[in-house]
Amino acid sequence: MTPLRTALYQGPGGTPTPRQAVEAFARAARRAAAAGARLLVTPELSLTGYARTPRELAELAEPADGPAARAIGEIAAEHRLALHYGYPERGEDGAVHNAAQLIGPDGTPLANYRKTHLFGDFERGCFTPGQESVVQADLDGVRLGLLVCYDVEFPEAVRAHALAGTELLLVPTALMRPYEIVPQAVVPVRAWENQLYLAYANRHGREGDLDFAGMSCLVAPDGTVRARAGAGEDLVLADVDRDALAAFRAENTYLTDRRPELYPSLSRQGEPRR
């Protein structure tokens, strides 16, 4: 099977308007498609920027089939690649979610995910957490899964994807300094221990008091970083190879060697015992 060439766009920076962000997506999609990419992944809240007030995010929120989705669908169809972006979603009940949507290469939506693990008082004051832990879609024979930022720092969230058959996990993020340990260490370990590819697309530069770390990366199931962005706006590419994935899983048998009957506490609710 032909590898799925995947592009990570570390941009746009700052707090763009949705129109400015869509224009940046179009430029990145043109470059990615010219390099043979079939998938373009952008950061958390890439449509609006992250460092906005709760009121601004509520005003900018739109439904999953809103004007931004239609505009991005046109870009995806023009360049014949799938485009994954982060945005504030206005739910059917009026609640605002920190969401990520995947638009297919024909311009139609493939999957929409609402962040389940909200980070800090800021996010909890702006968003309602999602309730669906595993959201997936298929692209060119590869099973894609969606999480957002802080979600990937919970081993259970990534393991749930691995057990559900995710082969490439898309994680748009807004990771700030001094937490560089996440792209440097946590993300490669998540890919290794769950035997999947992981695309981690971060924001860059300063937004208000926040300094985003960049360092977007695509990591293979053997834990090696196949592409790594720098600190500024960047576009990096790497291939997701299902044949290599099968070989990695045959060599590293974490998933088949599990003994879930020994870990019943993982399914229990409540606080950890102290």
Dump pLDDT digits (tens) for 80-134: 999 999 999 999 999 999 999 999 999 999 999 999 999 999 999 999 999 999 9
Reported pTM = 0.96
In angstroms, rounded to a whole number, what is the distance separating the alpha carbons of residues 152 and 6?
19
In angstroms, rounded to a whole number, what is the distance separating the alpha carbons of residues 12 and 28?
10
Topology of domain 4-257, per CATH?
Nitrilase/N-carbamoyl-D-aminoacid amidohydrolase (3.60.110)
Domain spans of the chain? 4-257
In angstroms, rounded to a whole number, what is the distance separating the alpha carbons of residues 177 and 196?
26
In angstroms, rounded to a whole number, what is the distance separating the alpha carbons of residues 273 and 178?
29
**Interacting residues of 107 by C-beta distance below 8 A, sequence separation 6+:** 73, 74, 76, 77
In this predicted model, what pLDDT tens digit does every residue of 20-66 receive, in sequence order?
999 999 999 999 999 999 999 999 999 999 999 999 999 999 999 99
| DSSP class of 100 | E
**Interacting residues of 217 by C-beta distance below 8 A, sequence separation 6+:** 8, 183, 187, 199, 200, 225, 226, 227, 228, 229, 236
In this predicted model, what pLDDT tens digit does every residue of 150-198 receive, in sequence order?
999 999 999 999 999 999 999 999 999 999 999 999 999 999 999 999 9
Pairing of strands 142-146, 168-172: parallel
- Catalytic residue numbers, as ranges: 44, 115, 149
